[in-house]
Structure 1
Amino acid sequence: MNVNMIGIGLIAGSATALLCLGVVAGSGLSVILYFLSAVPLMVATLGWGFVAGVTGAIVAAVAIAAFANLQLAIYIVMTTILPATAAGYWMNLARPAEEIGGPAGQLAWYPLSDVIVRLAIITAGAFIVAGFLIGYGPALVDELVGEMIARLQEANPEFAFSPEGRESFMGFMTGAIPFMQPALWLMVLVGSLYLALGITRASGRLTRPRDDWPTALRLPRSGAIILAVAIAISFFSGPIGLAATAIAGALVSGFTLAGFAVFHERTRGAPWRPLAMITVYGAVLITLIAALPFFFVGLFATSRPMPVSPGGGAPPPSGTPPAST
């Protein structure tokens, strides 16, 4: 531990707090900046070690609680601060490659696939706890649906919702919200991690070797097992079903990202790649159903590739301990 690590943590924590507090203003730009709020903590942890990351996490949490309120601080800690710091920590884990059957004199780094599935579990857990704290359930969804219908009727006075239609829509939203929130937020966190790795590498502080994301972004087989169990439990009613739905949503998002990574890998060097990219991502923007094939591709492309580097190099920041497999 040194003053430099603490200083970096203070800067990173302050940056994260400012990006989070800006969303209170409600402008479009502030929402975009909020999506980047995990990046400063990830950079601090990746480049300066776990002490810098934890310092930043504490600073961010205290600042948000002081300038906003405790409830918002708890929410940000669960959804942003904790996963950001944890992701940076996991990405810095390494162990001698020969301990897992690899070449002597090399370091094997913690697989990106394991980081993604752990981020998925943390993200789902954060939204499960948040839902419990706000009393998520049919009553709250009914209130939200009522507000949505009122807004639609303000925009179009001729708009009408039958009682049967309202009941059907409410049932859909009750399951869709706990599924979509962790699914979308995991994508934000994975994108933030990619950006943070690039920033830290450009600064010369990143010890981990470069991951080839099109081949490394996969989920381990254990993720598929957890997903299958979560989907089965999601058919139960009540809180346990909603919690399982959140876990399923995060993991479906992770496998879908893995499917897109496979797509990027398989189209490398192809002259028709730009057209394929525009077509695929354009279709996904129009309808999320277009992402379904990529989910299945990712589901059947499980692996745990580990990047390696010379074992005689500089150790991970702040003496990060070796990873377990």
Structure 2
Amino acid sequence: MVGVETTSNRSKGAGQLMIAIVLIGIAAGAASGLMFASVISRALISALLLYLASMPLMVAAMGWGPLSATIGGIAAAVSIGALFGLHHCIAYALSVAVPAWWLGHLAMLGRPVNDGTEQTPPSMEWYPVGRILLWIAGFAALITLTTLFAFTTDPDAITAALKRGVTRVFAMHRIETNERVIDAAATLAPAAIVIGPLIMLTINLWLAAKITATSGRLQRPWPDLKATTLPPMTLVGLCVAIAFCFTGGLLGLVAKIAAGALLMAYALTGFAVMHTLTLALKSRALWLSCIYVVTIVLVWPGLAMVALGLADAVFGLRQRYLRGKPPPLPAS
């Protein structure tokens, strides 16, 4: 009799958990879909809501599992397709639902590691943050390609549209230019456009993890972000992408987007390097705040972060620093 009651309680608990997973998924999908659809209003805040549209699904994936995010993503995509058409449904699926579901799944992906002792339970090995960053770069490139190819797949037409956009931006800021400057800016534009989606996906994943941790649903320890490193073969992929940038045509356009995404990923690892190299500073928080503010305002110091990330990938700056001079832990 006791065994029957125990089985019944387990079945009841599993049923309640499944109901919670479905309800959370639908709620997350509704929030994500509304944030994505807000761009139709063309209000100023709609741009911010559009960029944050993947965060509810990421919270569902990390807190209640990828099934919850799958349910929410499908529900939101179907609703958007029914209200605004197939084009918007595909755009939502590729730019919001799929990246949110997969990144949330990877963030919670782990496997037990046998430490060789029977007395202690096996520790967990979690999916590396550097590989997640590489996936973010890939999704950012996919979103950029989807956005550009939504209008045309003709590289010449895309280049002409980029030139018109660059010209309007220069005119808006009253910057005097010539045809050579505009051509150079339009050539670099695909690599620059991908930066926006990459940063927003990174921020969304970080915010979603913070929200999940605050709610007590985050089942993994908070990772050491300053130790983030990209896989070694990423540097080879970057070199190949840069080489194909000079081919022109559709292949050259794709290569520029890929190169821009990988360079931005190295810029983020450059910030991780900076966090490591400043561990011994007494005014560390002030220095880091100033560097972030200057980078956001002036933009071009981000190139120094790219160089720092690349230098660390080649020379192992963090490992050399920590081996040569172990820094004290910060007071705060």
Q: TM-score, normalised by structure 1?
A: 0.81
Q: Separation in 2 of the partners of 1:88 and 1:153? A: 41
Pairing partner for 2:214 from 196, 202, 219: 202
Corresponding residue for 2:262?
Answer: 251
- Range with bigger deviation, 107-116 or 147-156: 147-156
Pairing partner for 1:172 from 182, 185, 194: 185
Preserved CA contact (<8 Å) 2:57 2:73: yes
Matched, 1:63 2:76: no
Q: Separation in 2 of the partners of 1:124 and 1:154? A: 27
Preserved CA contact (<8 Å) 2:144 2:197: no
Corresponding residue for 1:308?
Answer: none
Corresponding residue for 2:96?
Answer: 80
Matched, 1:132 2:145: no
- Range with bigger deviation, 114-123 or 192-201: 114-123
Q: Separation in 2 of the partners of 1:95 and 1:201? A: 20
In the TM superposition, what whole-angstrom CA distance separates every residue of 1:204-235 from its partner, at most 9, and x where no partner exists?
Answer: 111111112122x3212122221111111111
Distance 1:120 1:99, change over 3 A: farther
Preserved CA contact (<8 Å) 2:38 2:50: yes
Q: Separation in 2 of the partners of 1:111 and 1:105? A: 18
Q: Separation in 1 of the partners of 2:166 and 2:245? A: 26
Pairing partner for 1:214 from 219, 222, 226: 226
Matched, 1:89 2:105: yes
Matched, 1:189 2:205: no
Structure 2 residue identity aligned to 1:186:
L
Distance 1:197 1:143, change over 3 A: closer
How many residues end up aligned between the 2 structures? 294
Q: Displacement of 1:53 after TM fit?
A: 1.0
Distance 1:176 1:230, change over 3 A: same
Q: Separation in 2 of the partners of 1:255 and 1:124? A: 15
Q: Separation in 1 of the partners of 2:158 and 2:284? A: 45
In the TM superposition, what whole-angstrom CA distance separates every residue of 1:254-307 from its partner, at most 9, and x where no partner exists?
Answer: 11011112212332362322442343223323432211121122224359xxxx
Structure 1 residue identity aligned to 2:215:
S
Give the superposed CA RMSD: 2.7
Structure 2 residue identity aligned to 1:139:
A
Matched, 1:119 2:132: no
Matched, 1:265 2:276: yes
Other structure's SS at 2:229 match: coil
Preserved CA contact (<8 Å) 2:95 2:143: yes
Identity among equivalent positions (%) equals 29
Matched, 1:142 2:160: yes
Distance 1:178 1:153, change over 3 A: closer
Distance 1:250 1:264, change over 3 A: same
Distance 1:244 1:94, change over 3 A: same
Q: Separation in 1 of the partners of 2:205 and 2:225? A: 11
- Range with bigger deviation, 236-245 or 115-124: 115-124
Other structure's SS at 2:300 match: helix
Other structure's SS at 1:108 match: strand
Corresponding residue for 2:27?
Answer: 11
Corresponding residue for 1:35?
Answer: 51
- Range with bigger deviation, 263-272 or 12-21: 263-272
Corresponding residue for 1:323?
Answer: none
List, as ranges, runs of 4+ consecutive aligned residues in structure 1 with deviation greater than 4 Å: 147-156
Q: Separation in 2 of the partners of 1:64 and 1:7? A: 19
Distance 1:274 1:61, change over 3 A: same
Q: TM-score, normalised by structure 2?
A: 0.79
Other structure's SS at 1:134 match: coil
Q: Separation in 1 of the partners of 2:176 and 2:264? A: 34
Higher RCO, Cα 8 Å, sep 6+: 1
Structure 1 residue identity aligned to 2:145:
I
Distance 1:237 1:141, change over 3 A: closer
Preserved CA contact (<8 Å) 1:39 1:195: yes
